[in-house]
Amino acid sequence: MEDHLKVMQEMYRIMSSMWHESSPAGYLNFRTFIMGVKGNEDIFPNGVLYKGVSETPFAYRGETGAQDSIIPSVDTAFGLEYPRNALTEYLFQLRSYRPAAHQAHVNWCAEMHKQTDFKKWCFSNSYSAFLMLCNYHMTFKFRHQHWVMVKKYIIDNTKYGRATGGTPITTWLPNQIGACLENCQNLIKVIDTEKLSYEQNCELARIKFEVDTEVQRLFMEVTSLQNEFKG
């Protein structure tokens, strides 16, 4: 888990460099071409007919899905749970869009988590629970960074209410972020601070403050965004 955390931190550092490589203002120039048909029925009411392929129109989900395999692998390996609702249903639909090897890897992570009862093992020791929290927190940071980019690259430039994948743009990612934060809050409760070092307790306090603050901020942000989008 220590090694996994280091890898997550490095991936997050690389992800954060996107600002230096890609212009938010230029994103809309090609976003149309990766826009999902499914979920955007007002744009594609009859699906899309691929001439020479089929006489029947198709409707597929959109977006690049850059995190489709990485973050779900972490979710399943560490037992991070998401509520099963209309907003998370897309998470499960995307499984069928991944390459077969990616699907197999995510499923393997889920099976190994179940076989080893990994979460229960982590909870049996305060340091392992602390490391699990740190990995959960990095998953939150990934999703939060994704949300920051959506606001800068998309919401600041258009008031169309659907994301590239056809999901509600103001609520879909915040729903997943909220689940990450809730998992962090639940995990913080079971950690025995007396069994952690001073440095670990300082990091725990920092994470707890950030998580608690973000829950309130996210709710207010999404509520305010609702007024800017129709439907």
Kindly report the three-state secondary structure assignment for every residue of the chain. CHHHHHHHHHHHHHHCCHHHHCCHHHCHHHHHHHCCCCCCCCCCCCCECCCCCCCCCECCCCCCCCCCCHHHHHHHHHCCCCCCCCCCHHHHHHHHHCCHHHHHHHHHHHHHHHHHCHHHHHHCCHHHHHHHHHHHHHHHHHHHHHHHHHHHHHHCCCCCCECCCCCECCCHHHHHHHHHHHHHHHHHHHCCHHHCCHHHHHHHHHHHHHHHHHHHHHHHHHHHHHCCCCC
Indicate the burial class of 206 (C-beta count within 10 angstroms; 0-12, 13-18, 19 or more): exposed
Domain ranges for the chain, please list them: 2-35+66-226
Residue 229: is its pLDDT beyond 80? no
Q: Which amino acid is at 33?
A: F
- Report pLDDT digits (tens) over 188-222: 998 999 999 999 999 999 999 999 999 989 989 98
Q: For residue range 90-142, list pLDDT tens digits in order.
A: 777 778 888 889 899 999 999 999 999 999 999 889 999 999 999 999 999 99
The residue-averaged pLDDT of 62-84 equals: 81
Report percent pLDDT > 70 for the chain: 97
CA 84 to chain centre: 14
228: confidence class by pLDDT, cuts 50, 70, 90: confident
Q: Is residue 66 scored above 60 in pLDDT?
A: no
- pLDDT at position 65 is 58
